[in-house]
């Protein structure tokens, strides 16, 4: 008995020593950051508008790992790719969680929107299901839909070029709706489309740090909606029924059509067939699960692609030399007598470089989605406490002059060397669309959508700046109307387009069934 106690004591001692070595000491210093005051911490310093720019200015003072304490929140901002890769990639097992905000809980998005769900078995099941449709080896199946959507887009621009931005919005949203639900939407005023756009916009707005005071004083969540200052409650009460309708209506329409044998080919029909064929599952729970995956596929895919395409049009209007160079490549490789197809991809190197530069130059989400560390961690001799929200400053990383000289200049040539893509230059696609286990699972679909649309646009159109009332060109880096919430959102595009005269017959001759 004494020997057993001795062995047990020895083993416990070893485990204790190992645990102590693996657990950062709370005596370690926190990362530096703006001045903290009693109770409110650094709340007075937290920016509401364009926070990525303020965060970057802080990095010049405190370094690339900045600590911010506000009521009920610990935040670390990472301002360099080195810090992001060290934590989100090399330590992904503890940096892949999501912070759960009061607004997310009230809006219930932490139940259905899997990009915002914590790192858990539920998240993994959502991600696995989504990945089977949008991984790198599957997205080629959607090329006919993407090509046809792009052709319809060209015809719409030909008929009404002054409505360019509306055509862009309709292009990406209708394309993903066709793939996900086999829905044919031809008008931005479609009731479902308006509902979806409003829902996505409100969720994004609520994610902006400091947008609602309830995040700093969670006890306010118990206020009735009629009390002054409870605008967040009214915001949620307006949104939640719309989000339920957004998720329910297309799903149950496909389910009804599937039962009647009239459902078309879609992601929804495939998942419903799988659900109906499996007798060993809780069907109500799986149905809820399936409904949510489909809703995220629409909301996330259309929003990111739309924003990136808007960024592209702004860039082309401001850099006519880039536009001309791309058109020469297209004329040489595709030829003036036909439209680009996906078969032209490998040879259109400059178009590929334009896609990369578009994602870098005006990133669709300057701060991405925040991560959360699940236990105390030591980094460079500093303590990052368990539960800290960790934010990657994607804007700063993509405008780092060491990686991208003259970072505010749109220059696709930075990605080309000896006629091929230069793999020694850091790929913006691996930054703009997330990191580690939380990287965007729809990135390959986004990339292929951008390719066919950008190639077809440059092959058939000329893009010009739309001068403002002061006679000056639009500057996306000084305008206050580029970003809404935490993503690129343009209500109007500051550019105009004309169809290249010899390309009009190509567009007119497209047969759209």
- As annotated, the binding site for heme includes 440
Binding site membership: which residues?
440
Name the residue with tokens 């006919």.
144
Name the DSSP letter for residue 222: G
What are the helix (H) ranges across 27-73? 51-62
C-alpha–C-alpha distance, residues 170 and 193, integer Å: 9
The SS3 call for residue 498 is strand
Instruction: Decide if 98 contacts 109 (C-beta within 8 A).
Output: no
C-alpha–C-alpha distance, residues 157 and 383, integer Å: 54
Instruction: Return the structure tokens found at 174.
Output: 């209708």
C-alpha–C-alpha distance, residues 269 and 257, integer Å: 9
The SS3 call for residue 26 is coil
Terminal-to-terminal C-alpha distance of the chain: 84
C-alpha–C-alpha distance, residues 94 and 373, integer Å: 5
Residue 19 CB burial class (10 angstroms; 0-12, 13-18, ≥19): exposed
Q: Angle formed by the axes of helices 143-159 and 443-460, to 10°?
A: 40
Quick one: how far is CA 59 from the chain centroid? 24
Name the DSSP letter for residue 483: E
C-alpha–C-alpha distance, residues 497 and 200, integer Å: 28
Beta bridge partners of 76: 67, 390
Name the DSSP letter for residue 425: S
Number of Cβ within a 10 Å radius of residue 15: 10
């Amino acid at each position: 008995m004494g020997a057993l106690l001795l062995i047990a004591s020895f083993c416990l001692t070893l485990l204790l020593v190992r645990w102590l070595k693996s657990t950062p000491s709370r005596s370690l210093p926190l990362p530096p950051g703006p001045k903290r005051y009693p109770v409110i911490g650094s709340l007075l310093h937290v920016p509401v508008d364009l926070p990525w720019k303020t965060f970057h200015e802080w990095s010049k003072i405190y370094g690339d790992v900045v600590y911010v304490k506000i009521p009920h929140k610990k935040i670390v901002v990472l301002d360099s790719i080195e810090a992001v890769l060290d934590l989100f990639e090399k330590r992904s097992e503890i940096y892949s969680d999501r912070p759960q905000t009061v607004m997310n809980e009230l809006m219930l998005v932490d139940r259905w929107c899997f990009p915002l769900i914590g790192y858990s078995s539920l998240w993994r099941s959502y991600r696995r299901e989504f990945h089977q449709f949008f991984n790198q080896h599957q997205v080629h199946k959607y090329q006919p839909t993407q090509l046809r959507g792009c052709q319809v887009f060209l015809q719409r621009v030909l008929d009404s070029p002054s409505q360019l931005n509306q055509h862009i919005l309709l292009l990406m949203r209708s394309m993903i709706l066709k793939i996900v639900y086999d829905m044919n939407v031809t008008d931005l005023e479609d009731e479902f489309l308006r509902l979806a756009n409003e829902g996505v916009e409100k969720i994004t707005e609520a994610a902006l740090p400091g947008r609602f005071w309830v995040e700093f004083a969670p006890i306010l969540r118990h206020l009735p909606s009629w009390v002054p200052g409870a605008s967040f409650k009214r915001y949620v009460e307006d949104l939640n029924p719309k989000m339920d309708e957004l998720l329910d209506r297309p799903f149950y329409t496909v389910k009804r059509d599937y039962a009647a044998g009239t459902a078309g080919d879609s992601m929804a029909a495939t998942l419903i067939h799988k659900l109906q064929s499996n007798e060993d599952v809780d069907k109500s729970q799986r149905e809820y699960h399936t409904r949510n995956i489909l809703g995220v596929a629409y909301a996330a895919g259309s929003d990111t692609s739309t924003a990136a395409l808007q960024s592209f049009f702004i860039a082309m209007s401001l850099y006519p030399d880039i536009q001309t160079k791309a058109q020469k490549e297209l004329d040489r490789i595709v030829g003036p007598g036909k439209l680009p197809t996906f078969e032209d991809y490998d040879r259109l190197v400059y178009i590929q470089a334009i896609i990369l530069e578009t994602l870098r130059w005006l990133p669709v989400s300057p701060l991405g989605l925040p991560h959360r560390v699940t236990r105390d961690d030591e980094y460079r001799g500093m303590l990052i406490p368990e539960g800290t929200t960790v934010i990657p400053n994607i804007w700063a990383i993509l405008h780092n002059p060491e990686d991208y000289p003259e970072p505010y200049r749109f220059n696709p040539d930075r990605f080309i060397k000896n006629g091929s893509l230069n793999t020694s230059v850091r790929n913006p696609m691996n930054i703009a669309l997330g990191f580690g286990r939380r990287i965007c699972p729809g990135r390959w679909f986004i990339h292929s959508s951008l390719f066919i649309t950008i190639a077809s646009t440059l092959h058939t159109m000329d893009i010009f700046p739309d001068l403002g009332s002061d006679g000056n060109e639009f500057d996306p880096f000084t305008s206050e109307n580029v970003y809404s919430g935490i993503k690129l959102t343009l209500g109007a595009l500051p550019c105009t387009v004309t169809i290249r005269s010899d390309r009009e017959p190509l567009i007119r001759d497209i047969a759209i069934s």
